[in-house]
Chain A
Amino acid sequence: MFLKVQLPWNVIIPADSLGAEGLMLQKAIVVRLWDDFACKKATKDLGYFIAVTTLESIGDGKVRQNTGDVPFPVVFSGITFKMFRGEILEGVVHKILKHGVFLRCGPVQNIYLSHLKMPDYHYVPGENAIFMNDKHSKIEKDVVVRFIVIGTKWLEAEREFQALFSLEGDYLGPVS
């Protein structure tokens, strides 16, 4: 789900961005924050960084001796996206394989749903392979599927989450 976070951060402003007016400083800080967000991508505690909403406070900057740039301690509010165990989410199928399907859900692009966790659905091979159950409910490319999150794992090296999903339960499966 989406989270609203309030975080302390150290924003480093290079010397040439430091203007005499306060507003230019705020803009430089916000620009750097967005840049940092884009680079850092995600953290284990907060999930994927989505947006900066407000800059709550800017502390005093201290000029670094060697480089001349200035780190400012700031507190800002932002939005992140994190998957939690037991949560109900919806994803779009983008790849069908014999043993499961790959889904996209928000900023998470590669989620695997194993056929073991799709009770009653069986693989139907073909040019456009699909998974189908006895009631002719189809899981195919571009179908939206509602699932429950069984577990998540943070991968430090790739800076992303892996997750295990399941369709076992009522009201889970393809949605129209």
Chain B
Amino acid sequence: MSEKGGKGFSLPTKTTPKSALKSTPASATARHDDNSAKSKRGRKVQFGMEGLPNLGFNFSSPKSDGKFAIPVGKGDWAKGGKGEKVVNGGKAPVAKEAKSLELRVEQELPENVKCLMDCEAANILEGIQEQMVMLSQDSTIKLPESFHLGLQYAKTRSYYTNPQSVRRVLEALSKYGVSYSEICVIANTCPETVDEVFALVRSLEAKKSRLSEPLKDVLDELGKLKKST
């Protein structure tokens, strides 16, 4: 351990034992490891949980180990819901973990960009495909590969017969503060119960008391609009 200090560079104070071990080889490579560990950490922060440094965890080191430890606890709590001690102990990181995975689509989108439900997208893409078939003898239009994959995906996720009716039904939720992206996620996941909606669209948890009743009505309406499989 003291050898590392003697190599003429300082290790970052937040170094966990694991990364300290990484720095054990020769000085040149140790500096490399430190940099690569640092940049790896930097990369992980960028790639993974952006929200994590802001959450004021004890394990605020953005290492993957710290990161993974929390969700496992959360998963157990969410599924079991038993054991008060677990609930209380896990509550703060669990609530913050749930918050960090909330949809923030509207903030991330540039202007002139709107969310589409998968059933709406499927309709539009099928229409384009039909037009392409008609034009194919004459046209030199080359459909990108992503078009076919996107169309296939939209069709499999399209559970409703009439996207306009679905949108009308779900728009009733917007007066309760549900954003359009949240509405799209609800339509895309085709939930059957109110609990499923709150489990999947975590950003709605805060409005649970207000939303439960109207959501139940909306889901009943949506049930009538489902495609028969």
Report which A residues bind B (CB closer than 8 A).
Answer: 1-7, 30-31, 34-35, 37-38, 41-42, 45-46, 48-51, 53, 79, 81, 84-88, 90, 104-107, 109, 116-117, 119, 144, 146, 148, 150-151, 153, 162, 164, 166, 168-172
Instruction: Give, as a whole number of angstroms, the nearest-CB distance from B91 to chain A.
Output: 16
Contacts of A2 in B (CB 8 A): 115-118, 120-121, 150, 154
Report which B residues bind A (CB closer than 8 A).
Answer: 46-50, 68, 71-72, 74-76, 78-79, 101-105, 108-110, 112-118, 120-121, 124-125, 128, 139-147, 149-154, 156-157, 181, 184-185, 188-189, 191, 195-196, 199-203
Given that A46-B113, A51-B128 are contacting pairs, would A107 and B79 also be in contact in the complex, using a CB cutoff of 8 Å? no
Contacts of B48 in A (CB 8 A): 150-151, 164
Contact of A88 among B47, B78, B200 (CB under 8 A): B200
Contacts of B115 in A (CB 8 A): 1-4
Contacts of A51 in B (CB 8 A): 124-125, 128, 147, 150
Q: How far is the CA of A153 from the CA of B110 in the complex (A)?
A: 17
Assess whether A37 is in contact with B185, with CB atoms less than 8 Å apart.
no
Contacts of B142 in A (CB 8 A): 34-35, 38
Contact of B114 among A3, A106, A168 (CB under 8 A): A3
Assess whether A4 is in contact with B150, with CB atoms less than 8 Å apart.
no
Assess whether A84 is in contact with B103, with CB atoms less than 8 Å apart.
yes
Assess whether A49 is in contact with B72, with CB atoms less than 8 Å apart.
no
Contacts of A170 in B (CB 8 A): 78-79, 195-196, 199-200
Contacts of A87 in B (CB 8 A): 103, 105, 185
Contact of B46 among A7, A79, A153 (CB under 8 A): A153
Assess whether A50 is in contact with B125, with CB atoms less than 8 Å apart.
yes
Contacts of B141 in A (CB 8 A): 30-31, 34
Q: How far is the CA of A87 from the CA of B189 in the complex (A)?
A: 10
- In the assembled complex, 27 residue pairs joining A and B whose CB atoms fall closer than 8 Å, in A order, are A2-B118, A2-B120, A3-B109, A3-B114, A3-B115, A4-B113, A4-B116, A41-B146, A46-B113, A48-B150, A49-B144, A50-B144, A51-B125, A79-B124, A79-B150, A81-B146, A84-B105, A84-B181, A87-B185, A88-B185, A106-B154, A119-B71, A151-B47, A151-B48, A153-B47, A168-B71, A172-B200
Contacts of B103 in A (CB 8 A): 84-87
Instruction: Give, as a whole number of angstroms, the nearest-CB distance from A11 to chain B.
Output: 13
Q: Which residue of B lies closest to A34 (CB)?
A: B141
Assess whether A45 is in contact with B110, with CB atoms less than 8 Å apart.
yes
Contacts of B150 in A (CB 8 A): 2, 48, 50-51, 79, 81, 106-107
Given A151-B50, A169-B200, A170-B199: 20 more A-B contacts, CB < 8 Å = A2-B117, A34-B143, A37-B144, A45-B110, A49-B146, A50-B147, A50-B151, A51-B147, A53-B128, A79-B116, A79-B121, A86-B101, A86-B103, A86-B202, A107-B145, A107-B153, A109-B149, A168-B75, A170-B79, A171-B200
